[in-house]
A and B are shown apart, each in its own frame.
Chain A
Amino acid sequence: GQNIDQPTEMTATEGAIVQINCTYQTSGFNGLFWYQQHAGEAPTFLSYNVLDGLEEKGRFSSFLSRSKGYSYLLLKELQMKDSASYLCAVRWGNAGNMLTFGGGTRLMVKP
């Protein structure tokens, strides 16, 4: 199967930096996405990585290492509104470009 692992919950302080990790099996990898999902809402796109390295977009950055099957989402200058679930998703090129999600990481930002 296409296993994707990420921590279930994390807690951080307003203004701080938090890193959310995601690991996946490397076979068939064809792109990794990070999504933010607030309770009761649909996921919204944050970032996309298909090549190794860091992609920066404002307060959010995402890193990918294809050889290690590893990605992280970095959130800087945390705000209370960043409290949400963060979903790592991988597209599998050897499975018709099927897109599967990890279980999500629930982030709580405290004052």
Chain B
Amino acid sequence: NAGVTQTPKFRILKIGQSMTLQCAQDMNHNYMYWYRQDPGMGLKLIYYSVGAGITDKGEVPNGYNVSRSTTEDFPLRLELAAPSQTSVYFCASTLRGVGDSGNTIYFGEGSWLTVV
């Protein structure tokens, strides 16, 4: 089982460049999330999706965009990279929320992004 797959694992961007972080899951999960984690801090929710075609803003959506055209994929787009977006990005997925058993939230391995 591949689980949640994120690419790339490491990337250096120049200020103003754009890029897309890819996230794919093969578990047929409805819910997918994008988080960022700054050094020594907790995870902050950027965007999430409860199913194909549906996305919602999280706590820190500014500077990012997402799409969910299929159940499997949930890419995160940075349009104009800024140094403040230097962080580790984690994608996660889970089965339907209500009534779900707790141990079905799966994380990708993380993407380390540096903007210089």
Contacts and interface: CB of A to CB of B under 8 A. Distances in A.
A33 interface: yes
B21 interface: no
Interface of A: 1, 30-31, 33, 41-45, 47-50, 87, 89, 91, 93, 96-104, 106
Given A30-B97, A48-B102, A87-B43, A96 B56 contact: yes
A101 B97 contact: no
Contact of B48 (A41, A96, A103): A96
B41 A48 contact: no
6 contacts: A42-B107, A97-B50, A99-B45, A100-B45, A101-B43, A102-B42
A98 B97 CA distance: 9
Interface in B76-116: 90, 92, 94, 97-98, 100-103, 105, 107-110
A43 B45 CA distance: 14
Nearest to B112: A40
B107 A43 contact: yes
Contacts of B48: 96, 98-99
Given A98-B58, A100-B59, A48 B103 contact: yes
Contact of B102 (A49, A93, A104): A49
Given A42-B107, A42-B109, A43-B107, A101 B35 contact: yes
**Residue of B42, B48, B97, B100 with most partner-chain A CB within 10 A:** B42
B31 interface: yes
Given A42-B90, A42-B110, A99 B105 contact: yes
Closest 7 CB pairs of A and B: A48-B102, A97-B97, A103-B42, A42-B107, A101-B43, A104-B42, A101-B42
